[in-house]
Structure 1
């Protein structure tokens, strides 16, 4: 099964080797037919602490790194 790849913006880099990435998705409401924006935060592994707040990154699924980390940063 292929691994999912998402793109988003780094919202926090306070922890060592970890960044929080906010991923936004847009979809049309089934009844109102209005475009809605929803966002979700993912914690991703950043081996060398290279990414800072505001950077656009792509993340990919990986085996669990910790209790909350299931993603790793693919590229900036």
Structure 2
């Protein structure tokens, strides 16, 4: 029983899913998502907090600033967008959404 190439590709993409917070929703069908992670310093062994910002394709414009979202890699959709929105994990608190 061998798995098809498409199934392997899907499984590989799902293993690289990331969870982050939407920091910008000003563009149509595009979001900027910031993902926080920790990285160990090579010499001192101390864990440092780092952030990475990804440009994400949101076809239905369903996410708003402050939402926690799950993103997955996909084929390049533009010069900077190579990630797609999988789902909104947690909606932003109303106070944050109203202030923007």
With normalisation by structure 1, the TM-score equals: 0.92
Question: How many residue pairs get matched?
Answer: 76
- Deviation of 1:30 (Å): 2.1
Q: Which has the higher contact order (CA 8 A, sep 6+)?
A: 1
Structure 2: 5+ residue stretches without partners: 1-8, 89-100
Task: Find the structure with the greater CA-based Rg.
Answer: 2
* Superposition map of 1:1-76 within 5 A: 1=9, 2-3=12-13, 4-76=16-88
C-alpha separation between the residues in 2 aligned to 1:28 and 1:19? 29
Q: What CA RMSD, in Å, does the superposition of the two structures yield over aligned residues?
A: 1.0
C-alpha separation between the residues in 2 aligned to 1:65 and 1:35? 34
C-alpha separation between the residues in 1 aligned to 2:85 and 2:24? 13
Q: Which has the higher strand share?
A: 1
C-alpha separation between the residues in 1 aligned to 2:19 and 2:77? 20
